[in-house]
């Protein structure tokens, strides 16, 4: 009987520890706290600039891509700041004795509207970067992305097949 109680306690402790680890890592963000959509945009735009010689980018193309990347970064920073402010408002509203449901619903709608607009801006910025490139340069992009993924896994015992 005592062994069963000890076993149940040990299982409960393992479960609590495992759940804590799950919540510690948010699957929607990378190690820098950015959401995946924004980090993917910045990774791809960085890879395009890094493959400057391979793609044979002109100076004007590089300048336009850098300008688009900086403008997108500014927009993401503004959007994330607004999202954080609204999140704090939601958190404070939930701590009140009587929760105003209409206000909370409005704040949640605003928060996800901002997230939606941020993602749309990033997609638009990536489309503008791709429009800066020529057709031949755009055709080379998938190979550059694939090579970058393969470089990432060099030295592993079983590299991923991409």
What is the rounded CA–CA span in Å between residue 132 and residue 77? Answer: 24
Quickly list H helices, 25-58: 36-50, 52-55
Q: Which SS3 state, helix, strand or coil, does residue 100 take? A: coil
What is the rounded CA–CA span in Å between residue 69 and residue 54? Answer: 20
DSSP assignment string, 106-125: HHHHHHHHHHHHHHHHHHHH
> Does the pTM exceed 0.85?
no
- Dump pLDDT digits (tens) for 4-35: 777 667 666 666 666 554 444 444 454 445 55
Q: Which SS3 state, helix, strand or coil, does residue 155 take? A: coil
- Is 125 exposed, middle or buried, given 0-12, 13-18 or 19+ CB atoms closer than 10 A? buried
- Dump pLDDT digits (tens) for 29-68: 544 455 566 788 888 888 888 888 888 999 999 999 999 9
Beta-carbon contacts of 29 under 8 Å, excluding residues fewer than 6 positions away, are 35, 36
């Amino acid at each position: 009987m005592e062994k069963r109680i000890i076993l149940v306690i040990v299982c409960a402790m393992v479960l609590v520890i495992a759940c804590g680890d799950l919540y510690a890592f948010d699957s929607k963000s990378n190690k820098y706290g950015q959401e995946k959509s924004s980090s993917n945009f910045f990774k791809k735009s960085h890879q395009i600039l890094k493959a400057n010689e391979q793609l044979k980018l002109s100076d004007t193309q590089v300048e336009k891509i850098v300008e688009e990347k900086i403008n997108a970064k500014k927009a993401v920073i503004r959007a994330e700041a607004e999202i954080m402010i609204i999140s704090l408002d939601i958190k404070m509203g939930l701590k009140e004795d009587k929760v105003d449901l209409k206000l909370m619903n409005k704040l949640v709608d605003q928060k996800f509207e901002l997230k939606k607009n941020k993602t749309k801006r990033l997609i638009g910025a990536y489309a503008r970067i791709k429009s800066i490139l020529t057709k031949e340069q755009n055709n080379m992009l998938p190979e550059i992305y694939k090579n970058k993924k393969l470089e990432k896994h060099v030295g592993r015992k079983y590299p991923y097949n991409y």
